Amino acid sequence: MLLFLLGSLVLLLAIMIFRTVQLSAREPDVEPSTPLPVNLDEATQRLSRAIQFKTVSQQDASMIDGDEFHKMHRFLAKAFPLVHEKLSRETVNHYSLLYRWEGKNPDLKPIMLTCHLDVVPVEPGTEADWDHPPFAGAITDEHIYGRGTMDVQSGVMAILEATEALLQQGYEPERTVYLGFGHDEEIDGEFGASEIGKLLQERGIEMEFLLDEGLPVVEELIEGIKSPVALVAVAEKGYLSLELSLTAEGGHSSVPQGTTSIARLGKALHRLENTPLPAKFDAHLTATFEAIGTGMPFYLRFVMANLWLFKGLLRRFLATIPATNAAIRTTTATTIFESGVKENLIPTLARAVVNFRIHPNDSVESVIAHVKKAIGDDAIKVEKLFGHIEPSPVSSITNTPYRQLSRAIREIFPEVAVAPSLMVGATDARHYTGISRNIYRFFPLRAEQSDLDRVHGTNERLSIQNYGEMIQFYARVIRNTTG
């Protein structure tokens, strides 16, 4: 019996080691692509000019400076003459742009590349903290500085640069190519991408594949990973804010009538925040860790190759890190608490707002049911606030579009591991779910952890070399999916 057990353990260990070795060879080698002829110096100058347009999205949509968007539209027409000669262009809802590049085979479904024209404002009082003015488009030996270099004027410009260069080479796509540039992604895309999506849906157009901005190529994603990881978001979280309110006996503070509304609601919030929705280690998360495991040392690769055994341990570890915890569950955050108007007056009403970013395995209704059960107090009223969004559908990682995208990434970034992931924030992609089942969110930006604070922050910048990679990447995506 002992020999049998020992033999079984040796066999199990051998299988686990074999799986680890197999994991190392899971991604096939891809030859780097032949670069498309592009004058990077001139392309950099054009990006610098684009950054100088203050296409800023204020939280109040009525404050958008339409003249800046129209100036940018005119600049794009001059900067990319072949694009505007060979492709049709229409303006959607005053400021968004939609291009159509007719393919040779009308029987093939089109593809679509999207980014957005707008940028976030610069926080007042921080202008002097910038090494270069945020809308000057300053070019140094290595970088381009300015608002939009990382999020995502560079994406708009790189897509157009790639298209212009392909046209110069005489490239003719088999499938039709759409380019969609919304103007208000930074304030939810309600008037930009949403209108483009509705327009295409009304025309009965179904895309084979849609690529929006998204997660970058991350250096040092997790300690122990040697190679950079290209994170392709196959879904994005939903959004829900709930108002929790309670009315209780008020009166003068000198004669309390029992537990106050503040204390009672506070206890309920404490119970809620200490009863998180369960973490989900689903098939896509398994695929994520198997993919990033290829660049890990052997002992970590051993874990990633045998998640059937180590999944519970890894899930508990991920839950201890805020960034990874957000990727494995619906998150809960109390963001507003209001009650009371005077120090000696017991308020009758206490109100709180709790924000949830909903994992694709949950829904708005399942979160509400969880909240009511967790707080355990029927006297507390739970109401949805305006603007809730269900999580997006999850796109396949085994189909042809994902393989084509993965190949394009590794042709331009041959040293990276490509891993499916989840977008914890919102993008314009959610407005296109009615026109495609294959929606991916990836942005070919090289980013170290220290760079991520620059997005929406001070000293936003992009390396000139990386901008060249962006242009080549979008050209490869077009070739891979329309050739």
CA distances, 137 to each of 145, 154, 459 (Å): 6, 11, 11
| pLDDT for 272 | 96
Residue 257 domain flag? yes
**Among candidate residues 329, 358, 384, the one where a domain is terminated:** 384
Please check the confidence at residue 359 and state whether its pLDDT lies above 80. Answer: yes
Question: What confidence category does residue 297 fall into, taking pLDDT thresholds of 50, 70 and 90?
Answer: low
| pLDDT for 10 | 54
Residue 182 domain flag? yes
Which residue from 198, 186, 217 is spatially nearest to 443, judged by alpha carbons? 217
Of 162-171, 267-276, 277-286, the least confident: 277-286
Query: How many domains would you assign to the chain?
Result: 2
**Judgement on whether residues 246 and 130 belong to the same structural domain of the protein:** no
Residue 12 domain flag? no
Q: Give the separation between CA 304 and CA 204, rounded to whole angstroms.
A: 43
| pLDDT for 17 | 52
**Among candidate residues 364, 384, 404, the one where a domain is terminated:** 384
Residue 20 domain flag? no
For CA atoms 317, 320, 326, 330, the dihedral sign is positive
**Judgement on whether residues 327 and 440 belong to the same structural domain of the protein:** no
Please check the confidence at residue 387 and state whether its pLDDT lies above 90. Answer: no
**Judgement on whether residues 264 and 367 belong to the same structural domain of the protein:** yes
| pLDDT for 452 | 75
Q: What positions carry a catalytic annotation?
A: 118, 185
Residue 10 domain flag? no
Percent of the chain scoring above 70 in pLDDT: 89
Residue 5 domain flag? no
**Judgement on whether residues 176 and 280 belong to the same structural domain of the protein:** no
* DSSP SS3 for 156: helix
Task: Record the pTM.
Answer: 0.89
Instruction: List, for residues 114-143, the tens digit of each pLDDT value.
Output: 999 999 999 999 999 999 999 999 999 999
User: Count of residues for the chain?
Assistant: 483
**Judgement on whether residues 377 and 401 belong to the same structural domain of the protein:** no
**Judgement on whether residues 150 and 225 belong to the same structural domain of the protein:** yes
**Judgement on whether residues 401 and 341 belong to the same structural domain of the protein:** no
Instruction: List, for residues 391-429, the tens digit of each pLDDT value.
Output: 999 999 999 999 999 999 999 999 888 999 999 888 999
CATH code, domain with 258: 3.30.70.360
Instruction: Look up the domain containing 310 and give its range.
Output: 236-384
**Judgement on whether residues 327 and 270 belong to the same structural domain of the protein:** yes
Helix %, strand %, coil % for the chain, to 5? 40, 20, 35
**Judgement on whether residues 116 and 241 belong to the same structural domain of the protein:** no
CATH code, domain with 215: 3.40.630.10
Residue 35 domain flag? no
Please check the confidence at residue 5 and state whether its pLDDT lies above 70. Answer: no
Mean pLDDT, the chain, rounded, equals 89
Q: Decide the pairing of beta strands 111-116 and 143-145.
A: unpaired
Residue 447 domain flag? yes
**Judgement on whether residues 248 and 361 belong to the same structural domain of the protein:** yes
Alpha helices for 231-296 (secondary structure H) = 261-273, 283-292
More confidently predicted of 60 and 389: 389
**Among candidate residues 346, 369, 384, the one where a domain is terminated:** 384
**Judgement on whether residues 54 and 176 belong to the same structural domain of the protein:** yes
Helix H or strand E encompassing 472: helix 464-482
Tokens representing 350 are: 């206490």
Q: Could you tell me which residues come within 8 angstroms of residue 472 by beta carbon, excluding any fewer than 6 positions away?
A: 33, 35, 36, 38, 162, 412
Tokens representing 441 are: 């969110």
Question: What confidence category does residue 159 fall into, taking pLDDT thresholds of 50, 70 and 90?
Answer: very high
Please check the confidence at residue 15 and state whether its pLDDT lies above 60. Answer: no
- Which one-letter DSSP state was computed for residue 56? B
Please check the confidence at residue 299 and state whether its pLDDT lies above 70. Answer: no
Q: Give the separation between CA 445 and CA 149, rounded to whole angstroms.
A: 10
Contact 154, 46 (CB under 8 A): no
**Judgement on whether residues 397 and 437 belong to the same structural domain of the protein:** yes
